[in-house]
Amino acid sequence: MAKMKTVDAAVLILEKEGVNCAFGVPGAAINPFYAAMRARGSIRHILARHVEGASHMAEGYTRAAHGNIGLCIGTSGPGGTDMITGLYSASADSIPILCITGQAPRAKLDKEDFQAVDIASIAKPVTKMAVTVLEPDQLPSIFRSAFHIMRSGRPGPVLIDLPIDVQMAEIDFNADAYTSMTPCRPTASRAEAEQAIDMLNDAERPLIVAGGGIINADASELLVEFAELTGVPVIPTLMGWGTIPDDHPLMAGMVGLQTSHRYGNATFLKSDFVLGIGNRWANRHTGSVDKYREGRKFIHVDIESTQIGRIFAPDLGIVSDAKAALEMFLEVARERKASKKLSDWSDWVAECEYRKHHMLRKTAFDHVPLKPQRVYQAMNEAMERDTCYVTTIGLSQIAGAQFLKVFKPRNWINAAQAGPLGWTLPAALGVRAALPDKKIVALSGDYDFQFLVEELAVGAQHKLPYLHIVVNNSYLGLIRQAQRGFEMDFQVSLAFENINTTGEGDAEPGYGVDHVALAESLGCKAIRVRTPKEFDAAFAKAEALLEEHQVPVVMEFILERVTNIAMGTEIDGVNEFEDILCLDPNLTLESGWVSMGEGDEADAVTAPEMEPA
């Protein structure tokens, strides 16, 4: 045992638990903790410009690699409340991050002291644990429990609030005797696996829905092995995108109302059996539950027991870690395969693959101003296979999911459930901090980019280079499109005549904010792209700037003001606003479907399924 300050013990515990990077903003009430961190020198600290930004950096850091725990630090009062959005986003997507906040002295907690707020109570609904440490001797056990809780079951965030007098107190602590607690994760039984494979075997057109729980469990290779062994096509969810490569013959496309592929929805509607692993049946994936369930049997595998039956009752529910379940499924499936008691779904696979290659949306537009589809086509052509994309909500994200290609787990890092604007930029910095050698490409609309744009200075100061694609239509595009249902276009335009953008090479007239000048004022580099002819040279220049300056590089693409991106209210009623690309002359669109025009002049139409003529 050694006598030490509680904050010294806290830093030693963080080291033992594998934390080596923190994101935060110091302040008076958390300065003792910062002093302990500085004295040890074992944890890299990246100074954010906003504490919400720090929380999203921590999210990006965790999401980037299996086993990471992102740490964000803030002072009392607004230092903690600014983190709530990050805690909510992490909780919604099952991401473990640790938030540490300073607090007023214990004796002042109920006396309206300066910046004293009950942050633990505020944070409880969006964390797995939120606690104010009131007894110094409890700090080691609370920190130990925090890491155990974050990693056990469905992962998620924790907040630990440290009154300043608790930070300054001395305790007895033996760092050498400290051990991390083994996370608790339920495991599928042999009997459950046998029942699941029996049900799978009885299906004629089965699918696997692969959720983010597979990525959290680091089980993507097992998922691909199971799919290949059984010959069952895979539908990844938005959080599970990358569990199977996009060009794998068994990758059957994504399903949903917005972030979906035409071929994915069409294949799902023809299926009769769904094995969901590590997924939540999120409403943007399912649409109405009645339509989603119609004519299908379901198995649901999830690490959290309360998820089974939460949206609808499956025919079989299995509470299990995704990795443990897949290992057991593989064991049973191998035995069935060896004894020739596993069904052959090769005709179904061929049918799914046929749709995948022919039910495509058009991207080859040469319009000026640019159509967003053309930008994503250019990104697919310019980016290497191992590129990691980071994005949040908006038409930029929805179109990105419809048109980009992802080939590996954790190469699509997305705030999928909460979708806070501004998330992309700080999250990309967190990803970069975790993966110094990875190709990182962030994707934002202009509004998402502006929300926490000050964090670009963090990338410049701390040399965190990544490429940030900004598709600029000077609109809150997704809200504008949603407002069509109310026959309005109200308070969603970001356009204005910027008095500072006059002259050749300046921002697009009428588009408002000069994102190039903004990025450069924050110590970064930026390029503006207006036509498809500029794409190749612009991407090459961006790569050169990243290499030379080691700071974030912004590529702003000037889009047409209005482009409606395909979406709908049911998975069988997604509205297509642009021409559909058909690569096979033997395929025709069913009679009655007409190709609509562009922009606001286009009314929504439902594109029926494409079939052989």
Based on the number of CB atoms within 10 Å of its own CB, is 58 exposed (0-12), middle (13-18) or buried (19 or more)?
buried
Say if 579 falls within a structural domain.
no
Integer Cα distance of 439 and 389 in angstroms: 9
Say if 147 falls within a structural domain.
yes
Integer Cα distance of 442 and 444 in angstroms: 7
pLDDT at 495: 87
What percentage of the chain carries pLDDT values higher than 90? 82
Q: Are residues 374 and 319 in the same domain?
A: no
pLDDT at 412: 97
Q: What is the mean pLDDT of the chain?
A: 91
Q: Are residues 128 and 194 in the same domain?
A: no
Q: Are residues 134 and 269 in the same domain?
A: no
Q: How many domains does the chain have?
A: 3
Q: State the residue range of the domain holding 425.
A: 361-558
Q: Are residues 210 and 158 in the same domain?
A: no
Q: What CATH number has the domain bearing residue 502?
A: 3.40.50.970
Segment (H or E) for 456: helix 456-461
The residues assigned a catalytic role are 25, 51, 421, 476, 479
Q: Are residues 354 and 456 in the same domain?
A: no
Single residue among 358, 382, 403 that ends a domain in this structure: 358
Residue 379 has a CB neighbour count (10 Å cut-off) of 23
pLDDT at 505: 59
Say if 600 falls within a structural domain.
no
pLDDT tier at 108 (50, 70, 90 boundaries)?
confident
pLDDT tier at 98 (50, 70, 90 boundaries)?
very high
Integer Cα distance of 16 and 274 in angstroms: 42
Residue 118 has a CB neighbour count (10 Å cut-off) of 15
Q: Are residues 453 and 553 in the same domain?
A: yes
Q: Are residues 365 and 354 in the same domain?
A: no
Residue in this structure with the two tokens 């990544």, named with its chain if needed: 466
Residue 119: pLDDT above 90? yes
Single residue among 177, 201, 227 that ends a domain in this structure: 177
Q: Are residues 212 and 336 in the same domain?
A: yes
Q: What CATH number has the domain bearing residue 317?
A: 3.40.50.1220
Say if 373 falls within a structural domain.
yes
Q: Are residues 223 and 310 in the same domain?
A: yes
Single residue among 509, 535, 558 that ends a domain in this structure: 558
Residue 611: pLDDT above 50? no
pLDDT at 295: 94
Mean pLDDT for the stretch of residues 347-368 = 92
pLDDT digits (tens, 9 = 90+) for 413-444: 999 888 899 999 999 999 999 999 999 999 99
Rg from Cα positions in the chain: 25
Residue 296: pLDDT above 90? yes
pLDDT digits (tens, 9 = 90+) for 554-601: 999 999 998 888 999 999 999 888 766 666 655 433 322 223 333 333
pLDDT digits (tens, 9 = 90+) for 330-343: 999 999 999 988 99
pLDDT digits (tens, 9 = 90+) for 24-60: 999 999 999 999 999 999 999 999 999 999 999 999 9
- Using an 8 Å Cβ cutoff, are 418 and 93 in contact? yes
Say if 521 falls within a structural domain.
yes
Q: Are residues 506 and 536 in the same domain?
A: yes
pLDDT at 503: 55
Say if 384 falls within a structural domain.
yes
Q: Which residues contact 136 (CB under 8 A, 6 or more apart)?
A: 6, 166, 169, 170, 171
Residue 504: pLDDT above 50? yes
Residue 613: pLDDT above 80? no
pLDDT tier at 548 (50, 70, 90 boundaries)?
very high
